[in-house]
Structure 1
Amino acid sequence: MALPLALNGQDIIGQARTGTGKTYAFGVAMLQRVGKPRKNRKKPRGLVVVPTRELAVQVTEDLVTAAGKLGSRILTVYGGRAYEPQIEALKQGVDVIVGTPGRLLDLVKQKHLDLSQIGTLVLDEADRMLDLGFLPDIERIIKLIPAERQTMLFSATLPGEIVALSRRYLTRPTHVRAENNDAEAEATPQTTQFVWRTHRMDKIEIVGRLLQCEGRGLTMIFCETKRACDMVVEQLKERGFAAAAVHGDLGQGQREQALRAFRNGKIDVLVATDVAARGIDVDDVTHVVNYDCPQDEKAYVHRIGRTGRAGKTGVAVTFVEWEDLTRWKVINNALSLPFPEPVETYSTSPHVFSDLGIPEGTKGVLPRANRSRAGLAAEEVEDLGETGRIRSRSPRKGREDDREERRERPARTPRERRRTRGGRTSEEISAPVTTEEVQPAESPVVEIAEVETDVAPRKDSRDDQYTAEAAPRRGRARRAGLNPEVSLVGKSEAPAHPDSTTDEPVRRQRRARREQVAEVPSWSGEPVAEFATGGEDDAVAEHRDDEPAAEVSRPRPQPEKIIPPSPFAVIFKSPDLASDDDEIAPSAASERVQSRRRPQTRGQQRGPRRPN
């Protein structure tokens, strides 16, 4: 009935039950008006706006089938896919565009899509678009389309908002309803409906038995929330069923992967939210389970409409919990169903087995011999260049996979570390030190071997201060390259008399050490602490060799001591950059004196004098 009116170019409001062929009602007429494609025609002539991505794919497949002889160029645009392929197709030219409101407006904003030549506009599942809040986007799209157009609005239900929208944007529309009372009476036996009052903890057990009934094909289970979908899928997989989820938290590639696996028969159970309640036209869907009670009568109609399509039969089972009884009574009264009081049902109730044809003794776990489905993993995920964030199918499972990867990760190979001290490795430090290696000309690190003599030590204030300040500064000398194993032995003791033979060489060595420290600047790259220790003086060594063995006692092994450099050594002296012509900057006091002596000019007021 709607096809002749659509071919004449009239505006139509179509209302029909799901599965009665609404897509072909507007698709054939639109393709006929658009005509065959032309090379010089780039801009689209027909536009179909749908609420969900799955419905866009379904409508596109039907239009491609209908346009097989015409060769019309049909493009599907929706979110979750990359922009580049869609933009490239628009540049080459299209005849009909099927898309969601959000992506259509994005392409228009980017100036890749021009709607100025649209002659036919179709709003499919208009009530669903209003429920999702697409009314402002639809109004913006309609304003971009020429006023002289044909507008067709199709929906399974016709709420008041749809009537108001049709009055605003449609011109003398014709309301076509594809059903009557006799048709409804005939359509009732096609879908056998069961409504049971169940407990929340017993639902999954009933579903496990239901999925093993006789003659069951593909099954769809509808849940109210995304988390409930993931929970049901996990529990069904644990029980041996090939199941997958479709909801808004999954990426577009994952959603299409689940739908392809469902159509190809690799999985036989599809758990979805209401986002998939429309637009999924899959053959051989024999059972539909409303795991959670629908929100209203429209959701119930669209859910059970996934089965019993095109003259085939199906079974729809609805679970109603105790707190949902009021909501279900409203749905029952709105649809005039014979289930005002659902039967209290458990997984062991006899009527569950008899109504669904479940063999006696069936449990909620699928036997291993019947697990013949390939599963979701057998279907590859298509790379769509998704624009949104990639979401995991099951967060809990993802965390478990990460833990397994951490456990299976091979152990790290031990890293070889070479400890150095002053740029020298431990092997070089532990090597025996010769006299040539510790000379001041080659290396500033020199070792002092000190001798114990019978002469009383001379009290020198400078030496006492040097020795007192040397003890706490141990770290700098160690960083300078001293080896703790080749450290100083004994305590330094000098002869008391200033004219002794050993006093002059010691003084000479001290002066040489101070000169070396003063000559080496701090920017030379070598730490000053390397010049802190002196070597073994020749005079001291000769004096030790000349003395009899009986008089010279062997030095006792002392704990490790490292003498740091003298705190009085000049490390860095800043250069004098001043010249003879430079003037000395006056002090603040001298400036105040000069300002008082300057004569005051006219106009300056002299303040009151202070009394002397």
Structure 2
Amino acid sequence: MRGEDLIGQARTGTGKTLGFGVPLLHRLQVPGDGTPQALVVVPTRELCLQVTRDLADAGRHLGVRTVAVYGGRPYEEQIAALRNGVDVVIGTPGRLLDLAEQRQLVLGKIRGLVLDEADEMLDLGFLPDIERILRMVPEQRQTMLFSATMPGPVLTLARTFMTRPTHIRAEQADESAVHERTRQLIYRAHAMDKTELIARALQANNRGLTMIFSRTKRQAQKLADELTERGFAAGAVHGDLGQGAREKALRAFRSGKIDILVATDVAARGIDVAGVTHVINLQCPDDEKTYVHRIGRTGRAGREGVAITLVDWDDEPRWKLISDTLGLDKPVPLETYSTSPHLFTDLDIPEDATGRLPLSKRTRPGLDAEPEADEAKRRRRRRRTRGGADQRSGEAESGARQDSDAETRPARRRRRRRTRGGVEIGVQQPEASAASGEADAGERPRRRRRRRRGTGTGEAAGDPGSTRSSAEGA
């Protein structure tokens, strides 16, 4: 709150977002001149959207303008939001640099800078981008760096770009990195039996939302498709999907249309979804940091959770290293199959559960029930332009439209019958007389209006004599 530089370290799920967000919003000058005053840098697009939503909710009654800047979306929307004026910018390093180099994003008045999940940004290779961003912002600023783990490169970055930072750790030094309320189950499973095992584990009593993490993008999509075929409401989030599909799956997961989200580590950082009771690791995580962040999706904010890790035979040494580093005292996974009695006992699975979800329990609408982000806009745009008028107009406007139709519809019918096949069909009898010529003359203003709309040729619309002669010839 005093504006000093800060390093914040706490376990995942303890509220770091509002830990830096509330002081950041408190120090803003509102209303501002539209130039960004605060910048929050995050490693992933999903975390960018979540932080934006949290800060927008926190600053709703302050009049604070926030905007999310991330890849996978058109530049035009984000540039328009920046030009309209903004106080807080939340973004990923790549898109932030692109807009800054295009001079669409002005960083010269940044008074508060936050690096969220800094260790993950270093793991993803963002260190050069972070350093370029730090050189673009003013030297007189408050810099806050937050992360669940603090490896050496993060501390080196802090010493380089921060001024006498205060290091705050929000737990005891000897406290475990994993929440005590998260029950951890480690099984040694065969690769060909994992899908069947997971399908039965997903039928455990009192299971809520579930996140399943896989090592590769292909495995994530394959497992999501297999679970959907077995009757579960599942979706996938991984790097091969477009940004719209990733956001759609996360929206469906948050709203409860699906209760299973299969993801790579792109969703392991900072994603906070209420009601996640189970986390399943399809394979052994690469290291202890990945393991901590994955299972940190459950057991958040004082709630209880279950974390299941399926270890292959050749990954046992890796798991033993993770167990020893975190002090889990579970170096040897228990050999488990989809029919093992202890699996049903540990997870409270009904004895009659099979590898397919019964029809009576398929109550969630599924991923297809979640509309695309831009679908509603496209529908409204089509309604506005169909026929040149808004299809949702009021009664008065519809009455005027009916009057207009009453005037023009008969003329359109006659025009179509005259021009079909180049021969007049039954519009005017061959015994047309001078009276019909007078009627045609009376209709000339209407034909002149049709000619202005461009629905026919000048000869067909304007010369009644040519029409009569063609009728007589026919």
1:196 aligns with 2:207: no
Partner Cα distance (2:183, 2:60) in 1? 36
The answer on whether the counterparts of 1:30 and 1:46 sit within 8 Å (CA) in structure 2 is yes
1:144 aligns with 2:136: yes
Match of 1:333 among 321, 324, 327: 324
Unaligned runs of 5+ in 1: 1-6, 385-612
The answer on whether the counterparts of 2:284 and 2:315 sit within 8 Å (CA) in structure 1 is yes
Partner Cα distance (1:182, 1:70) in 2? 40
Partner Cα distance (2:158, 2:42) in 1? 16
Cα distance, 1:68 vs. partner?
A: 2.0
What residue in structure 1 maps to residue 23 of structure 2? 29
Question: 1:201-600 counterparts in 2 under 5 A?
Answer: 201-383=192-374
SS in 2 for 1:34: coil
What residue in structure 2 maps to residue 127 of structure 1? 119
Partner Cα distance (1:189, 1:331) in 2? 17
Partner Cα distance (2:250, 2:162) in 1? 35
Cα distance, 1:331 vs. partner?
A: 0.9
Partner Cα distance (1:347, 1:9) in 2? 55
The residue type paired with residue 19 of structure 1 is G
Partner Cα distance (1:18, 1:222) in 2? 17
The residue type paired with residue 239 of structure 1 is R
What residue in structure 2 maps to residue 427 of structure 1? none
Partner Cα distance (2:307, 2:278) in 1? 6
Cα distance, 1:361 vs. partner?
A: 2.6
Structure 1: 4+ residue segments shifted above 6 A: none
Match of 1:90 among 73, 82, 85: 82
The residue type paired with residue 353 of structure 2 is T
Partner Cα distance (1:129, 1:184) in 2? 23
Q: 1:188 to 1:277 in 2, by over 3 A?
A: closer
Aligned length: 375
Once the two structures are superposed, residues 63-100 of structure 1 have per-residue CA deviations (whole angstroms, 9 ceiling, x without a partner) of 11211221101111101111112111111111100000
Partner Cα distance (1:239, 1:18) in 2? 33
Partner Cα distance (1:365, 1:88) in 2? 48
What residue in structure 1 maps to residue 66 of structure 2? 74
Partner Cα distance (2:372, 2:59) in 1? 29
The residue type paired with residue 12 of structure 2 is T
Cα distance, 1:183 vs. partner?
A: 6.0
The answer on whether the counterparts of 1:239 and 1:366 sit within 8 Å (CA) in structure 2 is yes
The residue type paired with residue 336 of structure 2 is T
Q: Which has the larger radius of gyration?
A: 1
Partner Cα distance (1:293, 1:182) in 2? 25
Unaligned runs of 5+ in 2: 376-474
Q: Higher relative CO (CA 8 A, sep ≥ 6), structure 1 or 2?
A: 2
The answer on whether the counterparts of 2:176 and 2:326 sit within 8 Å (CA) in structure 1 is no
SS in 2 for 1:176: strand
Partner Cα distance (1:84, 1:251) in 2? 18
The residue type paired with residue 306 of structure 1 is R
Cα distance, 1:61 vs. partner?
A: 1.1
Partner Cα distance (1:356, 1:338) in 2? 20
Partner Cα distance (2:155, 2:324) in 1? 23
Once the two structures are superposed, residues 461-516 of structure 1 have per-residue CA deviations (whole angstroms, 9 ceiling, x without a partner) of xxxxxxxxxxxxxxxxxxxxxxxxxxxxxxxxxxxxxxxxxxxxxxxxxxxxxxxx
Partner Cα distance (2:35, 2:353) in 1? 59
1:55 aligns with 2:58: no
SS in 2 for 1:302: helix
The residue type paired with residue 219 of structure 1 is T
Match of 2:149 among 135, 157, 161: 157
Once the two structures are superposed, residues 409-441 of structure 1 have per-residue CA deviations (whole angstroms, 9 ceiling, x without a partner) of xxxxxxxxxxxxxxxxxxxxxxxxxxxxxxxxx
Once the two structures are superposed, residues 341-368 of structure 1 have per-residue CA deviations (whole angstroms, 9 ceiling, x without a partner) of 1111111111101110011131111111
1:171 aligns with 2:139: no
SS in 1 for 2:97: helix
The answer on whether the counterparts of 2:214 and 2:283 sit within 8 Å (CA) in structure 1 is yes
Cα distance, 1:35 vs. partner?
A: 2.9
The residue type paired with residue 41 of structure 2 is V
Once the two structures are superposed, residues 313-346 of structure 1 have per-residue CA deviations (whole angstroms, 9 ceiling, x without a partner) of 1100000001111111111111111211111111
The answer on whether the counterparts of 1:242 and 1:376 sit within 8 Å (CA) in structure 2 is yes
**The 10-residue stretch of structure 1 (348-357 or 375-384) with the greater mean CA deviation from structure 2:** 375-384
What residue in structure 1 maps to residue 448 of structure 2? none
Q: Give the number of the structure whose residues are more often helix, by fraction.
A: 2
Cα distance, 1:62 vs. partner?
A: 1.0
Q: 1:192 to 1:373 in 2, by over 3 A?
A: same
What residue in structure 2 maps to residue 409 of structure 1? none
The residue type paired with residue 74 of structure 2 is A
The answer on whether the counterparts of 1:56 and 1:279 sit within 8 Å (CA) in structure 2 is no
What residue in structure 1 maps to residue 432 of structure 2? none
Partner Cα distance (1:203, 1:222) in 2? 13
SS in 2 for 1:353: helix
What residue in structure 2 maps to residue 573 of structure 1? none
Cα distance, 1:188 vs. partner?
A: 4.2
The answer on whether the counterparts of 2:179 and 2:299 sit within 8 Å (CA) in structure 1 is no
Partner Cα distance (1:277, 1:225) in 2? 13
Amino-acid identity (%): 62
The residue type paired with residue 15 of structure 1 is Q
The residue type paired with residue 11 of structure 1 is D
Partner Cα distance (2:220, 2:142) in 1? 40
Partner Cα distance (1:230, 1:68) in 2? 37
What residue in structure 1 maps to residue 35 of structure 2? 43
Partner Cα distance (2:85, 2:351) in 1? 60
The residue type paired with residue 111 of structure 2 is G
Partner Cα distance (2:243, 2:316) in 1? 35
